[in-house]
Every structure is written in C-alpha cells, then in structure tokens.
A and B are shown apart, each in its own frame.
Chain A
Amino acid sequence: MLELNFENSVLTAHLSGELDHHTAAVIRKKIDAKAEILKPKTLKLDYKNVDFMDSSGIGLIMGRYRNMALMGGKVEVTNVPPHLKRMFSLSGIETLGVIK
C-alpha cells in the first residue's frame, strides 16, 4: 500500500494497490507524520503501482500540495499509469504543475 523513502531532502511515497477514501486516509496520515519529522523539500508521490483509484487519489495530492506549501516544500507526482490518465485529466490537477 505504501513505502516511504527519504534521500537528499526528498521524501518519496511509493503508492500501490487500491486508492480509495478508506486507504487514502491511512496513507495520508503516514505521509504527513513522516513529513512533519523529516521536513522534506520535495514530496514525491509515485503512482506507478496504483492498480485502482477513485477521486480520493486526487484528494490525496491536493491535501499534500497544501501541506507541503505550508512547510515551504513542493509536491511532485510521478509515473501516472495509462489507466489512471482519464481521472487525472478530468480532475484538472495538471494545472497545479505537480505532474512530472
């Protein structure tokens, strides 16, 4: 579901499996707790191994974007797989400039 790595001020969250309202809440708490302690400059959210997500997967990005901005850091979203592209474009999240 979630693996966290920290290197060179970058906290990377490797997400996997199914992202919904239930799992996103658990993931969010873990990421925020780590970010609070480590104060990363960049939080990378890696969507490579996300098999399924509903709009909670977008909410997760929006919430982290806000949090990181408050801490003076930024968010990067990487490896969005083809089957999630429609959800991403529908959400308009690209306008935040976080998708790499």
Chain B
Amino acid sequence: MKIKNQVKFSFPAKSSNESFARSAVAAFLMQLDPTISQLSDIKTSVSEAVTNSIVHGYKQEGGLIYISVAIDENSLVTIKVRDKGCGIKDIEKAMEPLFTTGGEERAGLGFAVMQSFMDSVKVRSTEGKGTTVTLKKKLSYDL
C-alpha cells in the first residue's frame, strides 16, 4: 500500500522520554481522527516497546531510539521502534507472558500487551546489533 504520510524521530533512551515518545506518535495520528480507545492502545504499545529498548536493549546505559510512523491509503498505521542495543537472544522466550529479565518491578507483560492492543507485532533482532519492533493497527471504522 502507498504511504500517505510519515514521520521519523529519534531521542536518547532515557526513561524521562517515554512520555514524549508515545505522545508524539499519538499527536501525529490525530489526523486520522482516532477514537480515545484506539489512541490509548497505541500509546500503551509504544510505551511498552520504548521501555523495552531502554531497560533491555540499552540496559539503562543510554543510546538512541528511532521511531517511525507511517500511514497508508487504507489508514493502516505502521510504527517501528528501533534500538541499536544488545538485541534479544531468544525472541520466542522474550515474548512469553510473565517472562522478564527486568527484575522484580517489571511485570513481563510488554509483548503480551502489544499483541493484545495492536493488530500485529513483529520483532526482528540481532544479538549485539539491536532490535526493531514493528506494530500495526488499522484505524478505520468499517468494522
């Protein structure tokens, strides 16, 4: 499908930027007139992906996170969250609900939330090179 509009931005992997990241994506998507619930699903998923990059990809040591958001002719939204961090050794394991290497305060729900709140979630990762999470959701009312 032909891309109608897109935006790209990057920012340091600091937890104080989590709010900026999800709000920036939401602001860009306002042109599609999304429902509050659609917007909340997307903000939550972006927040999970960005947190994963900060906590796991960069192990809280910093780096850059790259986000791209594309809207196609059919109002399909594609969001990519990319880091150049350590990568994921076992993607299947990482996507299991409740599995976490993030310590006692992390619920291990990041991917489960993304899978539940978005239409599709894809993860590409190379150890030592980084991880790209691709989130898709169709924002239209023809159900």
Contact = CB atoms under 8 A, between A and B. Distances in A.
B15 A83 contact: no
A56 B50 CA distance: 12
Contacts of A60: 105
Contacts of B16: 22
A73 interface: no
A28 B105 contact: yes
Interface residues of A, number: 23
B44 A87 contact: yes
A20 B51 contact: yes
A54 B44 contact: yes
Which bucket holds chain B's interface residue count?
A: 20 to 34
B110 interface: yes
A52 B15 contact: no
A20 B104 contact: no
Contacts of A66: 104
A58 interface: yes
Nearest to A54: B47
A90 B118 CA distance: 14
Interface in B52-68: 54-55
Interface string B96-112: 00000000111101101
A24 interface: yes
* Complex A-B, nearest 5 residue pairs according to Cβ-Cβ distance, in ascending order: A22-B15, A55-B109, A54-B47, A58-B107, A59-B107
Interface of B: 15-16, 18-19, 36-37, 40, 43-44, 47-48, 51, 54-55, 104-107, 109-110, 112-113, 116-117
8 contacts: A55-B48, A55-B109, A62-B104, A63-B104, A83-B36, A83-B37, A91-B107, A91-B109
